[in-house]
Amino acid sequence: MLVNVPDKKLVSKIKAWFWAIRPFSISAAVVPVLVGSAFAFYGGKFNLFRFFLVLIASILVQMATNLIDEYSDHARPEGEHKILAPYKVIALGKLTAKEVKLGALVCFGLATTIGLFLVYLAGLPVLWMCLGAAAAAYFYSAGPLPLGKIGLGQPLVFVFMGMVMVVGSYYVQTGVFIPDIFWLALPVGCTVTAILASNNIRDMEEDRAVHKRTIATVLGRRVAWCEYLFLVAAAFLTVIGLVIAKQISLMALLSLLAVPQAVLALRILWRGHNRPELARGVPATANLHWYFGVLLAVGVALGRFIK
């Protein structure tokens, strides 16, 4: 009996695209949607179809952002001196720059199509949030002066991958803005920004060599670690504060189960002395964002049934 063996070139291509979209970063696009939608569910307003539309669009924008970063990074002279991580698919010769650029355009195009449909369903505020997110995604690593290179990376991530995505997900479900959803977006913004902060700590020497401005390159690794500690602590304390103020259910304290992961990430980044050791802090922080966000979303949603 003959068995069809997948073409090696096709398999290699699929693996290349898998790394190019940086799957380890996709959780950053999922968590805000989960939390914003969970709060809408808590308030008794939830539409599964709209939820999936927002989730798919968010993931597509994240994939497009990663592809743009890869394309722009390779196109700049300083990109030649960067360490070749598995997702550096152009430098490794796994994909061409043209293919990566086309992939980014396809992802953005699909996200835009979904976004326009969401505007039709939920109204013009969705359009302004989508345009802002798209601009941030592009100008973070592209354009004549990438915003991520001049110290604006973390504020952009906090605002658009934290606040805007959580608030936007809630708005698509409910059609309103309320103060509570902005407060609930804060901890998500803190943990997703912590991912970039851990990345900056890891890449401090590399970034200094290409004159990239981050808290780590300007103020040093210890100050950057203190900022990281502040972001992580602020996330947990905000949830506790919201529960005490009775703005969210007591069940939201499920997110505190992510504290051991936070301690692990903090220890890795404090004790690390070289890039390989510090590199472990990035996936540890991504896991923290994922665990914290999922537990928070589950706790908020359960609050609808457990008062």
pLDDT at 171 over 90: yes
Q: Is the pTM of this model over 0.85?
A: yes
**DSSP, residue by residue, 162-178:** IIIHHHHHHHHHHS---
Show me where the domains of the chain are located: 26-302
Find where tokens 């997900």 sit.
Answer: 169
Per-residue pLDDT for 97 more than 90?
no
Nearest to 54 by CA among 124, 129, 105, 104: 129
Check if the beta carbon of residue 107 is closer than 8 Å to that of residue 134: no
Is 221 within 8 Å of 275 (Cβ atoms)? no
Residue 134 reports pLDDT greater than 90: no
- Enumerate residues 6+ apart whose C-beta is below 8 A from 266: 225, 228, 229, 232
Q: Which residue has the higher pLDDT, 136 or 230?
A: 230
Whether the per-residue pLDDT at 226 is higher than 60: the answer is: yes
Instruction: Write down the mean pLDDT value for the chain.
Output: 86
| pLDDT single digits (tens) 182-218 | 999 999 999 999 998 998 888 888 877 877 888 888 8
pLDDT of residue 1: 46
Q: What is the pLDDT of residues 270-287, one digit of tens each?
A: 988 888 888 888 899 999
**Rounded CA separation 223/157 (Å):** 19
Residue percentage of the chain with pLDDT more than 70: 90
Question: With bands split at pLDDT 50, 70 and 90, how would you rate the model's confidence at 75?
Answer: low
Buried-exposed string 57-95: b where 16+ CB fall within 10 A, e elsewhere: bbbbbbbbbbbbbbbbbbeeeebeebeeeebbbbbeebb
- Confidence at 150, pLDDT banded by 50, 70, 90: confident
Cβ contact 112:125 at 8 Å: no
pLDDT for 42 beyond 50: yes
CATH level 2 (architecture), domain 26-302: Orthogonal Bundle (1.10)
- The share of the chain scoring above pLDDT 90, in percent, equals 43
Which ranges in the chain belong to alpha helices (H)? 8-20, 27-42, 48-75, 97-122, 124-141, 153-156, 165-174, 179-202, 204-209, 215-219, 221-244, 259-271, 275-279, 281-302
Check residue 174 and give its pLDDT.
93
Give yes or no for a contact between 222 and 266, defined as CB atoms under 8 angstroms apart.
no
What are the φ/ψ torsions at residue 150 (nearest 5 degrees)?
-110, 25
